[in-house]
Amino acid sequence: MTIENPLIRESAVGIVDMLKNGDVTPHDLLDALEQRISRVDGQVNALPTLCFDRARNHADELLKKPVGERGRLAGLPVPIKDLADVEGVRSTHGSLIFENSIPDVSDVLVSHLEAEGGVVYAKSNTPEFGAGANTFNDVFGPTLNPWNTARSAAGSSGGAAVALATGTAWVAHGSDMGGSLRNPASFNNVCGLRPSPGRVATTRSSKVDGNLGLEGPMARNVEDLALLFDAMCGEESGDPVSKPRTETSFLDQARSGWKPERVAFSRDLGITPVDPEVVQIVEAAALRLEEAGVTVEEAHPDLSEAHECFHVLRAISFATNMKPLLENHRDKLKPEVIWNIEEGLALAADEVIKAEHQRAAMLQRGLEFFKTYDLLLSPATIVPPYPVENRYVEQCNGTKFDNYIEWLGIVYAITNICAPAMSIPAGFTAEDLPVGIQIVGRPNCDGQVLAGGKLLQDILGHHQRLPIDPRG
């Protein structure tokens, strides 16, 4: 199968330049996407909900404005993960409870993107309520990995990552609590950034000051990622903990040429088993930075409390957000979600207090660590893409996990310390399956993560293999 429209292979940055120069219109892009989706999405199930009529109406309104008033994206199409509401579009959260829900109001995040010239044309698939790093649900079924459709796309932003990999999106929205931007980026050879807390505004419906789960961008390369990140960022009255934009755009920061002097590499952050082939690929990728004159040393901060801390705080988050759903719709919730909610409801105050203190202590140790190192590198996932029929990774390298989220420790340890973290392509296994490298920076230094990521990306060059046709 061939890609029928050359626009599909263009970068998002290139597409936006074409939009601003009048070389293409948003309608040209929507036509190209609709054709590409009809050719490949049936094989992977990345974008189960389409809204092209709404998108074309939005494009018409956008074209009435002068080019300079069309926002940072200028008409670039963007799919929204099916955990965020889009006005007038079926928004299921991957749950039978909301199978037929059509919201009247969009999430703040969506409104912000549309104000910046983003054109929403699809909802990307996600596991039920984003729970679990394998994208399947009882509404739409599983999303398959295009590098091998017998393998998992990871999650919970699996639909977004697969859309990017297969050329049905140039950029994509996602979200991340326990690695939900970074895991699918790793499994699909794309880029995903969990930003510093407050960078991206969103609708606050329960825990107003919560920062365990965050919204963020995905793309095929670091510059495109920074472009979408700029459009997502900014202070919004609807999110009282959101931050103003930075003085210098993140795209400019990514292109700045900044490079780290000294980076740390860790095989496992001291807390988890990792598949030996993954370690070999990621370590080889990290050491390539030495070609740019960067010192690479083996080190990591003390994150030994990561599992206990995250499990408690995640359980509290589930209980806070979903207790009414458990009470009223238990029969429609998957077992993992029920377990997480009940874990939260069973917690004693002392356990929560302990977890909050553990998080604060790990944050301080992380800040001290980044006085010595500019960036921290590690595997983004501990295994390559696994069989899609497995609900989660049950064991790795001889270690059996206690629950369905413990295999994600290498990413949720970073969630605990509020650090920006990005996964970019690191290489491929002997089976030609993607592996990602996690790049972590000091809190609020997102621009350095992007610049360091672009430096390594350009050395490695693996992003150039996209987009691909799905393969069995």
What's CA 86's distance to the chain center, in Å? 18
CA distance 182 to 180: 6
Helix (H, G, I), strand (E, B) or coil at 389: coil
CA distance 35 to 53: 14
Report which of 59, 113, 72 is spatially closest to residue 236, judged by C-alpha positions.
113
Report which of 199, 161, 162 is spatially closest to residue 181, judged by C-alpha positions.
161
Look-up: residue for tokens 């202590």?
A: 361
CA distance 136 to 151: 12
Look-up: residue for tokens 């420790």?
A: 409
Q: By CB neighbour count within 10 A (0-12 exposed, 13-18 middle, 19+ buried), where does 203 fall?
A: middle
Active-site residue among 156, 186, 196, 378? 156
Ramachandran angles phi, psi of 177, nearest 5°: -115, -60
Q: Which amino acid is at 88?
A: G
Report which of 181, 198, 203, 210 is spatially closest to residue 313, judged by C-alpha positions.
210
Q: CA 146, 232, 318: angle at the middle one, nearest 5?
A: 70
Ramachandran angles phi, psi of 168, nearest 5°: -105, 10
CA distance 93 to 98: 7
- R_g of the chain, CA atoms, integer Å: 20
Active-site residue among 81, 243, 334, 454? 81
Report which of 321, 304, 306, 314 is spatially closest to residue 343, judged by C-alpha positions.
314
Is 11 annotated as catalytic?
A: no
Q: Name residues whose C-beta falls within 8 Å of residue 206's C-beta, 6 or more positions apart in sequence.
A: 320, 321
Residue 467 vs residues 135, 159, 221, 325: alpha-carbon distances, Å: 20, 15, 11, 39
In 143-179, which positions are buried (b, 16+ CB within 10 angstroms) versus exposed (e)?
bbbbbbbebbbbbbbbbbbbbbbbbbbbbbbbbbbbb
Is 180 annotated as catalytic?
A: yes
Is 237 annotated as catalytic?
A: no
Helix (H, G, I), strand (E, B) or coil at 208: coil
CA distance 8 to 314: 38
In 449-469, which positions are buried (b, 16+ CB within 10 angstroms) versus exposed (e)?
bbbbbbbbbeebebbeebbee
Q: Which amino acid is at 287?
A: L
CA distance 56 to 155: 29
Active-site residue among 95, 175, 180, 242? 180
Q: Mind telling me the catalytic residues?
A: 81, 156, 180
